[in-house]
Amino acid sequence: MLAHVGPDGNSGPGLNLFKVSPVFLEESIKCYLLPDSMTTHSPSPRAAAIGIVLHWLESGLFPQREVGGDTPDYGMVLELVQGTVRRCRTLGAVQDWLVPRKPARTVEAALLVGLYQVFYQPNAAAHALVNETVEAARAVAGKGAAPLVNAVLRRALREKDDLLKRMQSLPFAIRLSHPDLLVERWRSRWNADAVEALCDWNNQPPHVTIRLCPSAGPAAEFRDRLASDGIMATAHPEAGDRWLQLPRGVAVTNVTGFESGQITVQDASTRWAVALLDPQPGERILDLCAAPGGKTAMIAERVAEPGVLVALDLHADRLALLRGTLRRLRHDGVRVEQADAQDPDALVLLEGAPFDRVLLDAPCTNTGVIRRRPDTRWRFSQERLKRLLGTQRKLLDAASSCVKPGGCLVYSTCSLEQEENEHQVSSWLETNPSFIAESSRCVIPPGGGTDGAYAVRIRRD
Which residues, in sequence order, are CB contacts of 151 under 8 Å at separation 6+?
none
Q: How buried is residue 254: exposed, middle or buried, by Cβ count under 10 Å (0-12/13-18/19+)? A: exposed
Phi and psi dihedrals of 264, rounded to 5?
-140, 145
Tell me whether residue 414 is one of the annotated catalytic residues: yes
* Alpha-carbon gap, residue 311 to 292, rounded angstroms: 11
Query: Do the Cβ atoms of 438 and 409 come closer than 8 Å?
Result: no
Which residues, in sequence order, are CB contacts of 359 under 8 Å at separation 6+?
273, 274, 277, 285, 286, 287, 288, 295, 299, 409, 410, 412
Query: Do the Cβ atoms of 411 and 425 come closer than 8 Å?
Result: yes
Catalytic residue of the set 31, 213, 408, 414: 414
* Alpha-carbon gap, residue 33 to 26, rounded angstroms: 10
Buried b (16+ CB within 10 A) or exposed e, 101-140: eebebbbbbbbbbbbbbbbbeeeeeeeebbebbbbbbbbb
Strand 308-313 with 284-288, pairing: parallel
* Alpha-carbon gap, residue 196 to 40, rounded angstroms: 46
Other beta carbons less than 10 A from residue 183's beta carbon: 22
Q: What is the Cα 190 distance to its own chain's centre? A: 23
* Alpha-carbon gap, residue 385 to 159, rounded angstroms: 41
- Which residues face 457 on adjacent strands? 410, 439
Query: Do the Cβ atoms of 282 and 303 come closer than 8 Å?
Result: yes
HEC secondary structure over 5-38: ECCCCCEECCHHHCCCCHHHHHHHHHHHHCCHHH
- Give me Rg for the CA atoms of the chain: 24
Q: What angle do helix axes 146-158 and 88-98 make, rounded to 10 degrees?
A: 100
How far from 59 is each of 17, 68, 377, 421, CA to CA, in Å?
A: 10, 18, 15, 29
Which positions are catalytic?
Answer: 414
